[in-house]
């Protein structure tokens, strides 16, 4: 085994949801906060040590249409462009039982449980493994106590519905707050490291 950390990134509402009450495609409650300096600084923080992006099928397909264009957009914020270039160039592993072809360059499909894929990735290579905005993958790895660092952006909105990241039944774990930044509109960038 190498010493690769498994990190995860996700935005949450105050009531713990990662999308709005309208369903998985409802990100309207989060949109006013995703382009703030706090959110962009958090985005820069999540990839600076990561050499592998672990994605679910939905996040992989959703990211492709947007971030690949930002990488070459000279008018884009430098932090957005940096993240986009990293995402385009980095090794990507897409967890899917339905895809037969990787939707990105430098990507491969893994039709296996998240824990098995993480164990395989941790056995070789260097750098962090970032589970990037893939809530079902993050939930699975939290249930197996395999996440070492959580990057959470909490927005000052109660959605009143939607799926939750932290559900009943997760193992009891302890975390240390290692970074905290609050933006002028109340959004918070938080980094928690698992205490083992």
* Encoded tokens for 27: 């990100």
pLDDT tens, residue by residue, 157-191: 999 999 999 988 999 999 999 999 999 999 999 99
**Cα(79)–Cα(106) distance, rounded to whole angstroms?**
21
- Residue 1 pLDDT grade (very low, low, confident, very high; cuts 50, 70, 90): low
* Encoded tokens for 88: 């385009």
pLDDT tens, residue by residue, 112-143: 999 999 999 999 889 999 999 999 999 999 99
Query: pTM (2 decimals)?
Result: 0.93
């Amino acid at each position: 085994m190498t010493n690769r950390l498994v990190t995860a990134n996700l935005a949450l509402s105050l009531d713990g949801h990662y999308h709005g009450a309208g369903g998985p495609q409802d990100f309207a409650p989060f949109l006013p906060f995703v382009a703030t300096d706090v959110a962009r600084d958090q985005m820069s923080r999540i990839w600076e040590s990561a050499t592998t992006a672990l994605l679910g099928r939905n996040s992989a397909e959703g990211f492709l249409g947007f971030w690949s264009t930002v990488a070459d957009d000279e008018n884009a914020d430098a932090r957005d462009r940096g993240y986009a270039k990293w995402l385009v160039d980095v090794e990507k592993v897409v967890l899917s039982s339905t895809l037969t072809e990787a939707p990105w360059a430098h990507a491969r499909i893994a039709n296996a449980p998240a824990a098995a894929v993480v164990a395989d990735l941790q056995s070789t290579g260097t750098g962090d493994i970032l589970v990037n905005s893939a809530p079902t993958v993050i939930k699975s790895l939290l249930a197996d106590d395999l996440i070492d660092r959580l990057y959470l952006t909490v927005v000052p909105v109660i959605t009143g519905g939607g799926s939750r990241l932290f559900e009943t039944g997760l193992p009891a774990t302890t975390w240390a707050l290692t970074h905290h930044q609050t933006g002028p509109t109340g959004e918070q960038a938080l980094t928690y490291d698992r205490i083992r």
